[in-house]
Every structure is written in structure tokens, then in C-alpha cells.
Amino acid sequence: MADKSVDICYDLTDGIFNVLNGNVIYDDVEYPVYKSIPKAPASLYVFIGDIISIEDGTKDSFIYTGSIRLEVVDERNMRADKKIIYNVLSVVRGLLKVTKGHTFNIGDDLKLVIFSHETLNTFTEISDTGISRIRLIDNYNFVIN
């Protein structure tokens, strides 16, 4: 367990960003990964979203459980291609798949014990101008100590 209470959000977000950034490549195209969405995002991107976490423990030992949302967003003009966005999501899942005995780093004093995929939600929106937006939202559960 962690020996002091800390805000794990930045370290978890940064750890996921380090795994994905520069590595989300499908069909020889590298897709950007954002921790916060810029004013003019790429038309297809990965966004590391909200974290919900609970701190549990004693005065000197802490464990953190919760979930984090990862989104693959396609905002291309007129009609988004679901095949491409699902394939980009598969790349993200492959990069984040934790194999037995291996986890990605989330800071010097924290250890990621569990990181597992939980659910997928799909949202499709079409603006008045005909631009479509598809969001594939993966929720992951985690345990950090």
C-alpha cells in the first residue's frame, strides 16, 4: 500500500498517456492522444477522460480503486467510418492490455495492481451542418497501492 495519501489522477493519466502517445498507429497513420482536448483537435483522436477514484486505508497505508474513461473520437466531415474508429480502439486496447506480472508505470511511489477493461459505450451525434461525431468510450477499472 502507498504510505501517504496522494492524488493519483495525474500519475494515472500520465502513465496511460506515456503508453499511448506515439503508439496509436493504424494503417500507417499515427493518431494523437490528448490528456486535455485542444481548441482544434485532430479529426480522429484518443482522449484520456475522467477518473473516479476512492481512497481507502489507514493513517499510513492507502489503496486506491476506481475507474477511468478512455475515448476514441471521430469528428470527420459528413460521415465517420466506424470501421476505422473501431480498429483504432483495438490498437488502444492492445497497448493497455496488462499481461500477468506486467503493468505500466504510474509514478515513483505508486504501483498499478489491477487495470482491466470493464465496458464500452458508443455515442453517435450529427450536427446541423451534417458533421458526424462518433465516440467510443471504454471504461477501465484500476487498483493502485
**Domain definitions of the chain by residue range:** 1-7+33-62+77-131
pLDDT in tens, 54-103: 888 776 678 889 999 999 999 876 666 688 999 999 999 999 986 655 67
Position 1 pLDDT exceeds 50: no
Residues 6+ apart with CB under 8 A from 13: 35, 48, 51, 68
pTM: 0.86
Residues 6+ apart with CB under 8 A from 23: 91, 95
